[in-house]
């Protein structure tokens, strides 16, 4: 598996997913309290550490690649979609900062929609394109 593939498939490792989800609670609280440095540290620190451990260790990600979820990632988890996920977190952080729950919810909705992009707007297969 190439390093690029490891970067893609590590995103669905359970420890990575759990870390990404769990840091939102303390980070959101810290943004709410206007503790910017601490909030950014909590938002980025643990996920970066977990990513580094998964990417640089011998953790086998091959079964994620072969799974249905791995196939989904290979098609739909583009750099653009990853940027949209990050944008969603930034929108939520701004919502926490300004104590605007609706903006927090919109931010989280952006993240969820980015993950679900392939289910909501699947790419057409080449045979489908040729038939039209």
* pTM tops 0.85, yes or no: yes
Q: What is the pLDDT of residue 125?
A: 67
Token pair 């643990």: residue: 46
Q: Which of 72, 74, 21, 73 is nearest to 43 (CA)?
A: 21
* Nearest to 8, CA basis, from 60, 82, 58: 82
**If the chain, 132 residues long, is cut into consecutive pieces of 10 residues, what is the mean pLDDT of each piece?**
94 96 97 98 98 95 95 95 97 98 98 95 66 48
């Amino acid at each position: 598996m190439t390093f690029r593939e490891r970067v893609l498939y590590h995103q669905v490792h359970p420890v990575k997913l759990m870390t990404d989800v769990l840091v939102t609670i303390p980070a959101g609280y810290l943004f709410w309290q206007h503790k910017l440095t601490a909030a950014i540290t909590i938002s980025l620190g643990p996920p970066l550490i977990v990513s580094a451990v998964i990417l640089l260790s011998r953790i086998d990600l091959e079964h994620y690649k072969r799974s249905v979820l791995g196939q989904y990632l290979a098609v739909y988890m583009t750099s653009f979609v990853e940027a949209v996920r990050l944008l969603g977190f930034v929108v939520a952080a701004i919502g926490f900062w300004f104590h605007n729950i609706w903006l927090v919810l919109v931010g989280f909705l952006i993240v969820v929609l980015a993950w679900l992009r392939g289910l909501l707007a699947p790419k057409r297969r080449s045979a489908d394109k040729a038939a039209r």
